[in-house]
Amino acid sequence: MSSSNEIIRHGFADAIGNTPLIRLNRFSELTGCEILGKAEFMNPGGSVKDRAARAIIEAAERSGRLKPGGTLVEGTAGNTGIGFAHVCNARGYRCVIVMPDNQSNEKYQMIETLGAEVLRVKTVPYSDPNHYQKIAGRLADEIPGAVWGNQFDNTANRDAHEQTTGPEIWQQTGGKIDAFVCATGTGGTLGGISRFLKKQNSNVRVTLADPQGSSLYHWLRNGELKATGPGSITEGIGIGRVTANLEGSPVDDALHITDIECVRTVYQLLRDEGLFLGSTSGVNVAAAVQIAKQLGPGHTIVTILCDNGAKYQSRLFNKKWLAEKGLLDAAGLSQNGQPTLLDVAKNVANVGAFPQRLSA
């Protein structure tokens, strides 16, 4: 029988981590490999970023910089802000979040609902002094008792994954893992997990999955930061610099994943696996499939299922938005003029019953 210590978690922060590995049955069958997704969407705040938020706050507490009643300020595309808002609520801190103005409305609403103060700023390149990350740093300097989370260059982020996520993956696979792949925004997840796995077995192949418009694919392949393709629909990943969390991490290769591949995979995960996930998970699984094809049958590839799809309903799961982006075909929602599942659902909502007849 399990002891109470093994089944009872003491508060929000203690419930973070120890997420399951999910075998992606359809993708595994198609490739002949074991394709496994680390279910980070099952963290209490709904994403992999809960780990970084907890680690950064705990590091600030240990250093004495974050004192009781203090303030945590962070610049984020959303998920880290959600994690910070949860942990701050649990520990009695004020939370101020700075976000670029190009994110899904659901993210702003969720963070505000959690009680954090949200400042939306114009989306500009990192080189601009008014980039959201730099504004967050200046804002923390101006607020008495405030600490800047600095998730991109605060290596407490990377350390959290080296100390928790990496060991969990190793234990859950029994050390039988041939490759690990994931996208990166701050570099914390990829940086920390790669460091742990390579220490266990240097032959584990570590790959960065990079969305279109990011500069890291070209950097890893050619040693130069240069964008590959136009900007992406993905949120929170794909950047134009090497962060402190990513720098020096043992990454073997990179894959370039287009928006078409991302969206196609997101909808395959929904239809074939029953998993309602965001765009980063689409990038990750699309890359895992490519690696499986490269390695051949019989290998085990692990990736990250970052967050659920609820925060992207107005975009990634919105037929009109997908059509504007030219991604309806990738989502499998364009059927040569025939009614789609979304059309049927709309009809049901309007008339209160199924239409008598649909075109064959």
Hey, which residues are catalytic here?
Answer: 49
The separation between CA 344 and the C-alpha centre of its own chain, rounded to angstroms, equals 31
Residue 308 DSSP SS3: strand
Phi, psi of 146 (to 5 degrees): -95, 150
Side chain identity at residue 202, one-letter code: S
Whole-angstrom CA distances from 47 to 3, 76, 359 are 27, 13, 40
Query: Distance between CA 336 and CA 136 in Å, rounded?
Result: 47
- The two tokens of residue 335 are 């059927």
Query: Distance between CA 244 and CA 198 in Å, rounded?
Result: 19
Burial of 337 (0-12, 13-18, 19+ CB in 10 A): exposed
Q: In what order do the strands lie in the sheet with 300-305?
A: 21-23, 34-39, 300-305, 179-182, 205-211, 253-257
Query: Distance between CA 273 and CA 270 in Å, rounded?
Result: 6
Residue 208 DSSP SS3: strand
DSSP 50: H
Q: C-alpha angle 110/105/56, rounded to 5°?
A: 45
- The two tokens of residue 144 are 């008495």
Neighbours of 282 (CB within 10 A): 32
Q: Are 40 and 47 in contact (CB under 8 A)?
A: yes
Residue 121 DSSP SS3: strand
